[in-house]
Homo-oligomer: A and B are copies of this chain.
Amino acid sequence: MSDQLEQPSQTEQKIFEAARHIFQRKGLEGARMQEIADNADIHKSMLHYYYRSKEALFQKVYQLSIMKVMPEIVNLLNEEVSLELKIRKFVVKYIETIQANPDIPLFILHELNKDPNRLKQFIMGQVGKKVEPFLEELRQAAKEGRIVDMPPEQILVNILSLTVFPFIGRPVIQMILGYEGKDFDRFIEERRLLLPDYVINSILK
């Protein structure tokens, strides 16, 4: 059954999916190996058979989670299109990315907050440098009077905030706005359509 491409076995996949779900929701310490096993509907020993330890399993989930959302920031901000279109596409695409993985942002931020050094170097170099061109682009646009005069770092954080926060703040938003059932999904749907205009209008002069 083993392909040349070394496909992970079905149980291995089931384990990983369950681990991803549990870890992303509850964090490293909040997750129980037994719970992951139950969730994957396999015996607990299998977790250690396929992944050495809890730490190792967590590490895989953690890394994959980061890979799912961090490079997006870089890629989308480095596309070869006009500033306006770039921002529009970023907002929409990033919302869609997170919509498909809504637990990741809070997960990463919580883990990162516990131990900021965990992947400092891992990303620091990668992402940091690649965002600079976008900042420069904003700086240039500001100099030419095409956009509002504001430090580009603030603008970038504005865009990120407006895009990412709703997912992180979901429970509070639901609470405050009295959302139930599919209400929140509709809210996000609406937002995906409105936000690009809002962001652009708030930046362009």
Contact B114 A154 (CB under 8 A): no
Q: How far is the CB of A133 from chain B (nearest CB, A)?
A: 13
Whether, in the assembled complex, A173 has its beta carbon less than 8 Å from a beta carbon of chain B, the answer is: yes
**Across the interface, which residues of B come within 8 angstroms of A123, CB to CB?**
175
Residues from chain B with Cβ under 8 Å of A128 in the complex:
175-178
Chain B residues lying within 8 Å of A157, measured Cβ to Cβ, are 165-166, 169, 173, 187, 191
The answer to whether B169 touches A164 (Cβ under 8 A) is yes
CA distance in complex: A154, B127 (Å) = 30
Residues of B close to A187: CB separation below 8 A = 153-154, 157
Q: Are A131 and B25 in contact (CB under 8 A)?
A: no
Question: Do B168 and A168 have beta carbons less than 8 Å apart?
Answer: yes
Q: A29-B27, A113-B106, A190-B151 are in contact. Are A161 and B171 (CB under 8 A)?
A: no
Q: Known A-B contacts: A148-B201, A198-B202. Give 12 more (CB < 8 A).
A: A27-B110, A30-B114, A103-B113, A109-B168, A109-B169, A131-B176, A131-B177, A154-B191, A157-B187, A161-B162, A161-B166, A165-B168
Whether A181 is near chain B, meaning CB under 8 Å from some CB there, is no
Interface flags, A167-205, vs B, CB<8A=1, else 0: 011111111111000000001001100100010011000
How many Å lie between the Cα of A128 and that of B178 in the bound state?
6
How many copies the complex holds: the figure is: 2
Q: In the bound complex, how far is the Cα of B98 from the Cα of A169, in angstroms?
A: 15
Q: Is A56 an interface residue (CB 8 A)?
A: no
Can you report 27 A-B residue pairs in the complex whose CB atoms are below 8 A from each other?
A26-B114, A27-B29, A27-B110, A28-B30, A29-B29, A30-B30, A108-B172, A109-B171, A109-B172, A116-B171, A123-B175, A124-B178, A128-B178, A131-B176, A131-B177, A148-B201, A150-B194, A150-B198, A151-B190, A153-B177, A157-B165, A157-B173, A158-B198, A161-B161, A161-B165, A162-B162, A168-B168
Most buried by B among A161, A174, A178: A161
Chain B residues, CB < 8 A from A67:
none
